Amino acid sequence: MAAGPEGAEGIVVRPAEEGDLPELLAIYNHEVANGTATYDLEPATLAERAAWMAAHDTGEAALTGTHPLVVAALPEDGRPGGRAAGYASLSPYRGKGGYAATVELSVYVHQDIRGRGIGTLLMRHVICLARANEGIHVVLSVVDSANAGSIRLHERLGFVEVGRVREGARKFGRWLDDVTLELVV
């Protein structure tokens, strides 16, 4: 577990657990309905997110696996390990074997507690996991081009822009561009 940076006091990063799934679903579906961190148009179901979670390394396996799923936990509600306030994952980049050492980073933070350094904490944590894993060579992030804050954060953490897709997605009645950022670990 990791203590939070300034502004994220009391937050710990820990491996995701099955009990986190309802909170992770709510965080994700809020972004589906209200934001462009995902280009999904329909809310995910609990069963869909359970399958997504099962495709990642959780529990103790998140510390050494190639596809970890970790949460930033708030120490409240009397729950061991705290309530999930955000999460980060490293997912397979593509299904082709040649891409096995490349992973895609995703980070989501609950809408009510953004701006407290939780996204930074989560990103630093999974980058450390990636660097410690001999099976990972490249971490990619695909970010909506209008999300200047996320792009700046990635750049501060060593990512460089390696591509843009213009008008590759449509959401909320408008065309969206995405930026691909890369970190060689």
User: What are the pLDDT digits (tens) for 67-77?
Assistant: 999 999 987 65
Cβ-proximal residues to 147 (8 Å cutoff; 6+ apart), any chain: 36, 37
Q: Just give the CATH number of 2-136.
A: 3.40.630.30
Q: Report the candidate in 38, 118, 103 with the shortest Cα–Cα distance to residue 68.
A: 103
Q: What is the pLDDT of residues 8-18, one digit of tens each?
A: 567 899 999 99
Average of per-residue pLDDT across 59-68: 94
Q: CA-CA distance, 107 to 89, in Å (whole number)?
A: 7
Burial of 180 per CB tally in 10 Å (0-12, 13-18, 19+)? middle
Q: How does residue 3 score in pLDDT terms, banded at 50, 70 and 90?
A: very low
Average pLDDT over residues 79-107: 91
Identity of residue 2? A
Indicate if the pLDDT at residue 110 is higher than 50: yes
Residue 79 has pLDDT above 80, yes or no: no
Global model pTM greater than 0.75:
yes
Contacts of 142 (CB under 8 A, 6+ apart): 104, 178, 179, 180, 181
> What would the two tokens of residue 25 be?
């679903």
Question: What residues form DSSP beta bridges with 15?
Answer: 70
Tokens of 149: 């804050």
Query: Per the structure block, which two tokens stand in for 53?
Result: 């979670």
Contact at 8 Å (CB) between 72 and 23?
no
- Spatial CB neighbours of 146, under 8 Å, sequence gap ≥ 6: 36, 176, 177
CB-based contact 87:108 (threshold 8 Å): yes
